[in-house]
Amino acid sequence: MKVVLAGDIDAAEWTAWRAALAAAMPEARWLAVDEAQRAPDDVHAAVVANPPRGCLAPFRHLRLIQSLWAGVDRLLADPTLPAHVPIARMVDPALSAAMAETALWATLSLHRGFFAYQQQQREGLWRQHEQRRAGEVPVLVLGRGEMGRAVAEALQRQGYPVAGWGRDGAPLPPPLAAHEIVVNLLPLTDATRGLLDARFFAAMREGSALVNLGRGGHVVDDHLLAALDGGHLRHAVLDVFHTEPLPRTHRFWTHARVTMLPHAAALTDPRSAATVAAANLRALRDGRPLAHLVDRGRGY
Amino acid sequence: MKVVLAGDIDAAEWTAWRAALAAAMPEARWLAVDEAQRAPDDVHAAVVANPPRGCLAPFRHLRLIQSLWAGVDRLLADPTLPAHVPIARMVDPALSAAMAETALWATLSLHRGFFAYQQQQREGLWRQHEQRRAGEVPVLVLGRGEMGRAVAEALQRQGYPVAGWGRDGAPLPPPLAAHEIVVNLLPLTDATRGLLDARFFAAMREGSALVNLGRGGHVVDDHLLAALDGGHLRHAVLDVFHTEPLPRTHRFWTHARVTMLPHAAALTDPRSAATVAAANLRALRDGRPLAHLVDRGRGY
C-alpha cells in the first residue's frame, strides 16, 4: 500500500513521523506529496496533519484520509477535500492521558489556589488561603468523547464530583451554576462555535473558572475578557486560541486572571499515534471496518 | 474529661477548633489555658498546636498531649515539655489527601513543563516543549509515613513510576540518580536535619527537580541555591522554610527556578482532625490503646 503524507508540520517532525509510521507498518510505502505525485493513482491512503489546501486533489483513488490530530475542524474546512473519501480522527489513549494530565493540573491549580500562590510569590506576599476538599469542588466537563471521558475519570479518581455534558440539543448545560470549574473538550463544529459567550459565562457560578482545552473558536474572547474583568469568572486556563500563535497584542497574554498554554495540553505522540494509524490502514487493506470515522454532517 | 487547648494560632482559629472539637466530643470540657489554670489538676489531656513554651507545666496530671499538627518537631524542641506524658501526632486522611494533591500538582507541573509555560506567558513566548509520558518520569518519595504513602499512591495512580525511601540507616537513598523528581515528606529529626545538602543534590540526576513538602530544616538553603544556579537542578517547589514567613530578602522569593508556597501544601482541617483527636481522647478515657504516639527518641 502506498500512503501519502501531507501536512503543515516541519521537516524534522515529518522525519520523526515517517520513522514511527514505517516502524508501525513496514509493509507500506510512506511517500511525501512530491514523491506520491509521480504515480498518484497508486496512492490509496493519506496520513495528514492539517494538509495544505488542495494537496490531496491529485490522488483520485484515495480510500481513507487518516488524521494525525484529534481535532479535524481545520481539515473539514478545506473545500477541496475529496467529498466521498472517509476521514478518520486520531483517537489515541496516550493523547487522552496527556489531556487528562493537563485538565488535572488546571483543576488542582484552581481548586487549591496554586495560581494565586504563584502570584503572591511575585508580590512577596505570604498568606494562606482556605483549603477545601476535592469533594467540595464540582467540575463540569463539556464533551463526552474519548478525551472528555479520560478527563472525567482522572478528575473523579482524584475525588472531584464530575458531571459531563455533550452538545446534543439543549442550548446550555442545565446545571451550569452548580459547578465551580468548567473544562471544555468539545469538538469545534457549527453547533459549538462561539458556545462560550456572554450568556454562557453569565450562567456560570460567581467566582467559577473556565479551562478551555477544546478550540479557540468555542470562546468569544471579548465576552470572556469582560467576565474576567468584572470578576464574575475568577480565572481562565486557555490552551487554544482563534489565531495560533496568539498575537502578542492580545490581552490574554498579560491578563492576571488568564493562564495560557501554547496549544500544548496534549501533543500527539508519534510512537503511539503511528500504531493507531497503522491499525486503521491495515483494516482498509484487509477490508475490515475502519475506526474513528468522522461524520462530516456532524463535523467530528 | 477536661481538656486544655494550647497553641500559637489566633483567636478566630481557636474558635473554629473549639467548635469542631465540641461537636466531635460534646461530653468533654474544652478549656483555654487561663480557664484550665483555675483547677489545673483536673485537666488530664491537652490538645496543642505548637504551644508556647512552658504553658503545659501547670498541668501535672496530663496523660496525653494530642497535637493538631502532623509535624511535632517544634513541640519536641520545647525543653519544658512534660517528660513522661505520651504525645500523639495528627494523622488524618483528609490531611494526607491534601498533601497528595499538592505533590501531584507539583509533579504534573514539573513533568509537563507548566512552570516553564507560565514563565513563557510572562515573556510573551509561544513555544511547545517535548511531551513525555508519566511512565517516563520516575519519582522518588522521601518518607514512608502516612503522607508519604498517600503521595506515592496518588502519583502511581496517575502513571508515575514511584520509589519510596525512609531514613533507616543508609546515608542517602541508593537510586537517587535514577529519579527525575524527588518529593520530600520526611519528619524533621536529628537524623534528617540538613539531609538535602550539596552531597544529596550532587547525587541527584542532572536536570532533576526537588519538591520539599517536609520541613525547611531538611534543606541547606545555600546548597540548594548553588545547585539551582549551576543548573544541576532544574527547579525546586518549596512549601516550608527555616524561618516562616520566609523573610522578604531571601533569594527563594525571586529565584526563577523556585516555586514557593506559604506552608500551605496541606492545612489541617478542623472538621476531620477534631474527629481524629476526639477518638484518641476517648481511647484515653476508656483505657484503650492510644493511636499515633510519638517515639521521642526517634523524634516523630
Residue A132 near residue A158, CB atoms below 8 Å = no
Question: What is the model's pLDDT at position A132?
Answer: 96
Residue A148 near residue A266, CB atoms below 8 Å = no
Going from the C-alpha of B151 to that of each of A50, A267, B101, the distances in angstroms are 41, 27, 8
Q: Give burial (CB, 10 Å; 0-12/13-18/19+) of A26.
A: exposed
Interface mutation target, options A121, A129, A239, A252, chain B, most CBs of B under 10 Å? A121
What number does CATH give the domain A93-260? 3.40.50.720
Q: How much is the CA Rg of chain B, to the nearest whole Å?
A: 21
- Residue A169, pLDDT > 60, answer no
Interface mutation target, options B92, B131, B158, chain A, most CBs of A under 10 Å? B131
Residue A166 banded pLDDT, cuts 50, 70, 90: confident
Nearest to A259, CA basis, from B120, B242, B158: B120
Q: Are residues B264 and A157, on separate chains, in Cβ contact within 8 Å? A: no
Please name the member of B105, B261, B264 whose beta carbon is closest to the beta carbon of A105: B105
Residue A296, CA atoms < 13 Å, CB-side half-sphere? 13
* Chain B contact residues (CB < 8 Å to A): 94, 97-98, 101-102, 104-105, 108-109, 111-114, 117-118, 120-121, 124, 126-129, 131, 133-134, 154, 157-159, 244-246, 248, 253, 259-264, 266-267, 269
The architecture in CATH of the region A2-92+268-286 reads 3-Layer(aba) Sandwich (3.40)
Please name the member of A105, A253, A263 whose beta carbon is closest to the beta carbon of B109: A105
CB pairs under 8 A between A and B: 101
Side chain identity, residue B252: F
Distance from the A64 Cα atom to the nearest Cα atom in chain B, whole angstroms: 28
Please name the member of A128, A158, A253 whose beta carbon is closest to the beta carbon of B264: A128
Residues of chain A with CATH 3.40.50.720: 2-92+268-286, 93-260
Residue B89 near residue B49, CB atoms below 8 Å = no
- The residue from A144, A263, A271, A292 that is catalytic is A263
CA distance linking residue B214 with residue B200, whole number of Å: 16
Tally of CB atoms within 10 A around B97: 20
Q: Are residues B128 and A104, on separate chains, in Cβ contact within 8 Å? A: no
Residue B92 near residue B269, CB atoms below 8 Å = yes
Distance from the A128 Cα atom to the nearest Cα atom in chain B, whole angstroms: 6
Q: Which helix (H) or strand (E) holds A233?
A: strand A233-238
Nearest to A42, CA basis, from A4, A83, A97: A4
Query: Catalytic site residue B215?
Result: yes
Question: What is the model's pLDDT at position A204?
Answer: 97
Please name the member of A131, A259, A262 whose beta carbon is closest to the beta carbon of B98: A131
Using DSSP, state whether B293 is helix, strand or coil.
strand
Nearest CA in chain A to B268: A131
Question: What is the model's pLDDT at position B169?
Answer: 53
Q: Find residue A29's DSSP bridge partners.
A: A2
Question: What is the model's pLDDT at position A11?
Answer: 86
Query: Catalytic site residue A251?
Result: no
Nearest CA in chain B to A107: B105
Residue B143 near residue B149, CB atoms below 8 Å = no
Question: What is the model's pLDDT at position B173?
Answer: 72
Residues of A in contact with B133 (CB under 8 A): 94, 97-98, 269
- Residue A161, pLDDT > 90, answer yes
Using DSSP, state whether A146 is helix, strand or coil.
helix
Residue B250 near residue B86, CB atoms below 8 Å = no
Question: What is the model's pLDDT at position A167?
Answer: 73
Pairwise pLDDT comparison (A170 vs A246), residue with the higher score: A246
Residue A49 near residue A7, CB atoms below 8 Å = yes
Q: What are the tens digits of pLDDT across the range A208-230?
A: 999 999 999 999 999 999 999 99
- The residue from B215, B234, B235, B257 that is catalytic is B215
Q: Count, in order, helices (H) and strands (E) of chain A.
A: 9, 11
Q: Are residues A154 and B159, on separate chains, in Cβ contact within 8 Å? A: no
Nearest to A268, CA basis, from A71, A53, A3: A71
- The residue from A167, A215, A235, A257 that is catalytic is A215
Question: What is the model's pLDDT at position A175?
Answer: 85
CA distance linking residue A279 with residue A66, whole number of Å: 11
Q: Are residues A108 and B105, on separate chains, in Cβ contact within 8 Å? A: yes
Q: Are residues B112 and A102, on separate chains, in Cβ contact within 8 Å? A: yes
DSSP codes, A22-44: HHH-TTSEEEEHHHHTTSGGGEE
pTM: 0.94
Q: What are the tens digits of pLDDT across the range A2-28?
A: 999 999 888 888 999 999 999 999 999
Evaluated on CA atoms A115, A117, A122, A127, the torsion sign reads positive
Distance from the B78 Cα atom to the nearest Cα atom in chain A, whole angstroms: 26
Q: What are the tens digits of pLDDT across the range A52-82?
A: 999 999 999 999 999 999 999 999 999 999 9
Q: Tens digit of pLDDT per residue, chain B (300 long)? A: 999 999 988 888 899 999 999 999 999 999 999 999 999 999 999 999 999 999 999 999 999 999 999 999 999 999 999 989 999 999 999 999 999 999 999 999 999 999 999 999 999 999 999 999 999 999 999 999 999 999 999 999 999 999 999 876 566 677 899 999 999 999 999 999 999 999 999 999 999 999 999 999 999 999 999 999 999 999 999 999 999 999 999 999 999 999 999 999 999 999 999 999 999 999 999 999 999 999 998 899
CA distance linking residue A31 with residue A43, whole number of Å: 9
Beta-strand pair B87-88/B64-67: parallel
CA distance linking residue B179 with residue B194, whole number of Å: 20
Please name the member of A133, A246, A264 whose beta carbon is closest to the beta carbon of B128: A264
Sheet holding A208-212, edge to edge: A162-165, A139-142, A181-184, A208-212, A233-238, A258-260
Tally of CB atoms within 10 A around B131: 19
Please name the member of A97, A118, A134 whose beta carbon is closest to the beta carbon of B259: A118
